[in-house]
Amino acid sequence: MQVRPVIACVSLLAGALVALSGTPAEAASTTQYVSPSGTDSAAGTQSDPTTLTTAISRIASGGTIYLRGGTYDYSSTITIPAGNNGTSSARTTLSAYPGETPVLNFSAQSESSSNRGLQLNANYWRLYGITVQRAGDNGIYVGGSNNVIERTVTAYNRDTGLQLGRISSSTPSSQWPSNNLIVSSESHDNADSDGEDADGFAAKLTTGTGNVFRYDVSHNNIDDGWDLYTKTDTGAIGPVTIEYSLSYKNGTLSDGTVNSNGDRNGYKLGGDDIAVNHVVQHDIAYGNGHHGFTYNSNPGTMTISNNASVDNAQRNFSFDAGTSVFRTNTSCRFSVSGSNDKTVGDADSSNQFWTGANGSRCSSYSGTLGWSFASDGHLAVTFGGKVVTP
């Protein structure tokens, strides 16, 4: 006699859930499959793939979304929302299906700061093997923390290809994106209409501590290869590490387009005279349209070590102030003339900077540039037929 009211209450609750959502409540899935022809109502299995937005809403913490190969055409930003988190021991994964290349294409978007491509605002995710192209703003924007972005390509977007920054203007600095790793990724041919903002990679304005770029390649972007800009309004960002990476021919797109408004540096490391102690090591800058490595008014104590800078249009190393520490860096010129390097700070005899004549160590960098990602994710660089992996 007392069971029936309980059953009735449960039935009423279930009915209310259906009324609110339109469908019965569904348990989160540990695996979802997505394809360009998938539908929202599909089960998300290999034989019945769903859409990316639906898979994101369904996936359980620590689960995996597989994107089948092909082109996905979108006109609106795809967002992985804050709170949809993985864990430190089990990241939620958005991955290319093994052996296939999914391309998220946002060419239907107009150029606008509100028209990003893929927006990652959650924590403890892993993005793997995805190409994001032609967004109206950033290709990939990371507002969350403790994420790994691996083997992604961001290209032909109308602002920086891959950028880290706060989720919104109300996000406190304690919640700015931190401890993200961008690894074995490429960013190229990103260009905005005024030529001033579209970099390859950026961690600028509103980023926390512990962000790392490793084994990445940035080339042929209209502005800078890397941008770590700070401004007075938002203050210092957390120190960033850029290591074992390559930045070349930024300031000129692959089709030869140049915009004189662009800064055109390989690695731009500051702004507004705000000190941040970045770590820049084992990197190569080659053939960029302005400086190879530049402090850009960052007066901090940066670690600048084991880098090679070759044939950048002005200085290979440009540090006019600060207390940065320079060790075992090499600067060379072959086909391009420019002003001599300037390295204000702590620079000892382990460096070979350009002071009007090339030394013998430069010969190992002479020639044509080539690069690839090895199967283990490491960046392999050749110059003049010789391996010069940073």
Q: Position 379: which residue type?
A: L
Task: In whole angstroms, give the CA distance from residue 243 to residue 304.
Answer: 10
Q: Which of 262, 293, 126, 252 is nearest to 194 (CA)?
A: 262
Q: Which of 85, 161, 371 is nearest to 245 (CA)?
A: 371
Question: How far, rounded to the nearest angstrom, does the alpha carbon of residue 75 sit from its chain's CA centroid?
Answer: 21
- Tell me phi and psi for residue 159, to 5 degrees: -160, -165
Q: How many residues does the chain have?
A: 390
Give the CA dihedral 267, 273, 274, 277, nearest 10 degrees: 50
List strands edge to edge, sheet with 386-387.
Answer: 369-373, 379-383, 386-387
Q: Position 225: which residue type?
A: G
Beta-bridged to residue 219, according to DSSP, are: 188, 248
231 is catalytic: no
Task: In whole angstroms, give the CA distance from residue 128 to residue 80.
Answer: 14
H/E stretch holding 290: none
Beta-bridged to residue 381, according to DSSP, are: 371
Contacts of 356 (CB under 8 A, 6+ apart): 340
Q: Position 332: which residue type?
A: C
- Tell me phi and psi for residue 73, to 5 degrees: -95, 125
Copy the structure tokens of residue 256: 């030869």
Helix (H, G, I), strand (E, B) or coil at 9: helix
Contact yes or no for 103/139 (Cβ under 8 A) = no
Contacts of 91 (CB under 8 A, 6+ apart): 62, 124, 125, 126, 147, 148
H/E stretch holding 31: strand 29-34
Question: Of 204, 249, 268, 342, which residue is the catalytic one?
Answer: 268
- Tell me phi and psi for residue 57, to 5 degrees: -70, -25
Show which residues are catalytic: 268
